[in-house]
């Protein structure tokens, strides 16, 4: 397991491209919603890139910090932390001004049955944040769920595809985008809307969901028969580098890996790695939630961690009892109910 940990740590190191982009970035970096799945790794990556660039910039993370020990962990990594409930206007407006904002706040899982909170977090709050930070540049984390399901043979939705969100979660995410787009033009705020699906780490993600099902003998639902995936470290790099590509009006950017990956093929590959035969249920549909990320590759190059690399690391991680987060992605969902 020690060797696997070392491989994992190396994959989290900032690239030369990121270090260069961070070196020429003016101002500190403020991450709103740093306590989520991607936030802690994003903050640490930014801090390491700053150190390697020899720059003097602060990384500040804001969250309610409901997870025990996370605030202290980030502090030990040299990241300043602020505990705040962003939905509280007084707490939001007490936050420091900052030139560079990464907006990760939002809610997805458990949204069915909590629709009012979902809309407050995903649509109301973005408008408040956009006004608070109208003099900053803002990278807004969004999702490919704003797109309709598209034919697998089409190769995924491009940024020119008109949104057709299915379900209240996806609809509220489009609301988030619209509020930031409105205030971008209203206040001349440079914004980039970062439509991500799906980030993967050793602790969570679509690949982990499939790998765990193969390992435990649980049937894999093929209703969503194809997916896009990207290593979380690559996605975080692109988010930080995207600060240089914020624009007025807001720029839309798909973030994911280059493959339209078959769920059946992924499961069979994990079956080979575990020496287990995967079990399936249902059949593949001709449509899936897929994004075309060629514009992001033009800006940043291709992801550095390949699909095979991710799968081999995940298989070793699971086989050796590595720690994971019990938060399934529900990537099979076709009705938008999360």
Per residue in 41-54, pLDDT (tens digit) is: 999 999 999 999 99
Q: Can you tell me the mean pLDDT for 166-187?
A: 96
Q: Is the pLDDT of residue 2 over 70?
A: no
Q: Residues of the chain with pLDDT > 90: what percent?
A: 87
Taking alpha carbons only, the member of 198, 260, 255 closest to residue 37 is 198
Q: What is the pLDDT of residue 109?
A: 65
Residue linked to tokens 């069979």: 268
How sure is the predictor about 100, in pLDDT bands with cuts at 50, 70 and 90?
A: very high
Token pair listed for 44: 């640490």
Does 9 map to a domain? yes
Would strands 199-200 and 230-231 be described as parallel, antiparallel, or unpaired? parallel
Does 156 map to a domain? yes
The total of structural domains in the chain comes to: 1
Report which of residues 189 and 322 the model is more confident about: 189
Q: How much is the pTM?
A: 0.96
Q: What is the pLDDT of residue 111?
A: 63
Does 221 map to a domain? no
For residue 58, what are the domain limits?
A: 2-203+228-258+289-304
Q: Is the pLDDT of residue 152 over 70?
A: yes
Q: Residues of the chain with pLDDT > 70: what percent?
A: 98
Encode burial over 163-199: b for 16+ CB neighbours within 10 A, e otherwise: bebbbbbbbbbbbbbbbbbebbeeeebbbbbbbbbbb
Does 23 map to a domain? yes
Residues 6+ apart with CB under 8 A from 308: none
Q: Is the pLDDT of residue 56 over 80?
A: yes
Q: Are 102 and 86 in contact (CB under 8 A)?
A: no
Residues β-bridged to residue 251: 192
Q: Is the pLDDT of residue 1 over 60?
A: no
Does 22 map to a domain? yes
Q: How far is CA 207 from CA 154, 194, 245, in A?
A: 22, 21, 29
Does 217 map to a domain? no
Q: Can you tell me the mean pLDDT for 47-73?
A: 96
Average of per-residue pLDDT values in the chain: 95
Token pair listed for 331: 């990537």
CATH number of the domain that 198 lies in?
A: 3.40.50.720
Task: Give me the count of residues in the chain.
Answer: 338
Handedness of CA 80, 5, 1, 37 (dihedral sign): positive
Q: How far is it between the farthest Cα atoms of the chain?
A: 57
Does 114 map to a domain? yes
Taking alpha carbons only, the member of 53, 13, 50 closest to residue 29 is 50
Q: Which of 9-23, 60-74, 264-278, 315-329 has the lowest mean pLDDT?
A: 315-329
Q: Can you tell me the mean pLDDT for 225-252?
A: 98
State CA 166 to chain mean position distance.
19
Q: What is the pLDDT of residue 336?
A: 77
Q: Can you tell me the mean pLDDT for 16-22?
A: 98
Q: Is the pLDDT of residue 285 over 70?
A: yes
Question: Residue 10, Cβ neighbours under 10 Å: how many?
Answer: 9
Report residue 3: phi and psi, to 5°.
Answer: -65, -40
Token pair listed for 218: 């649980």
Whole-angstrom distance, CA of residue 110 vs CA of residue 278: 28
Encode burial over 112-137: b for 16+ CB neighbours within 10 A, e otherwise: eeeeeebbebbbbbbbbbbebbeebb
Whole-angstrom distance, CA of residue 298 vs CA of residue 296: 5
Does 33 map to a domain? yes
Report which of residues 334 and 291 the model is more confident about: 291
Q: Are 122 and 104 in contact (CB under 8 A)?
A: no
């Amino acid at each position: 397991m020690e060797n696997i940990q070392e491989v994992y740590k190396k994959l989290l190191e900032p690239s030369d491209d990121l270090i260069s982009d961070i070196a020429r970035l003016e101002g500190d970096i403020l991450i709103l919603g740093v306590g989520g799945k991607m936030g802690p790794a994003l903050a640490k990556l930014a801090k390491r890139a700053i150190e390697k660039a020899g720059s003097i910039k602060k990384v500040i993370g804001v969250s309610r910090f409901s997870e025990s020990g996370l605030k202290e962990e980030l502090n030990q990594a040299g990241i300043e932390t602020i505990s705040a409930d962003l939905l509280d206007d007084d707490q939001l407006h007490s936050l420091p001004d900052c030139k560079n904002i990464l907006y990760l706040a939002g809610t997805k899982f458990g949204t069915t049955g909590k629709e009012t909170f979902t809309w407050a977090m995903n649509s109301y709050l973005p408008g408040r944040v956009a006004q608070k930070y109208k003099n900053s540049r803002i990278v807004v984390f969004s999702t490919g769920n704003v797109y309709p399901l598209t034919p697998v043979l089409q190769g995924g939705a491009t940024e020119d595809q008109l949104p057709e969100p299915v379900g209240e979660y996806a609809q509220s995410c489009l609301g988030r985008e619209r509020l930031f787009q409105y205030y971008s033009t209203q206040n001349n705020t440079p914004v980039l809307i970062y439509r991500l699906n799906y980030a993967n780490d050793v602790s969570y993600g679509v690949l982990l969901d499939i790998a765990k099902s193969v390992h435990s003998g649980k049937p894999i639902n093929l209703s969503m028969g194809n997916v896009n995936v990207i290593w979380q470290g690559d996605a975080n790099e692109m988010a930080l580098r995207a600060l240089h590509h914020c624009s007025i009006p807001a720029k839309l950017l798909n973030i994911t890996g280059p493959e339209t990956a078959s769920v059946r093929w992924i499961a069979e590959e994990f079956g080979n790695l575990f020496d287990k035969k995967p079990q399936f249920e249902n059949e593949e549909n001709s449509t899936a939630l897929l994004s075309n990320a060629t514009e992001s590759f033009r800006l940043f190059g291709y992801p550095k961690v390949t699909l095979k690399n991710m799968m081999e690391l995940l298989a070793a991680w699971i086989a050796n009892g590595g720690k994971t987060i019990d938060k399934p992605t529900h990537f099979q969902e076709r009705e938008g109910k999360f």
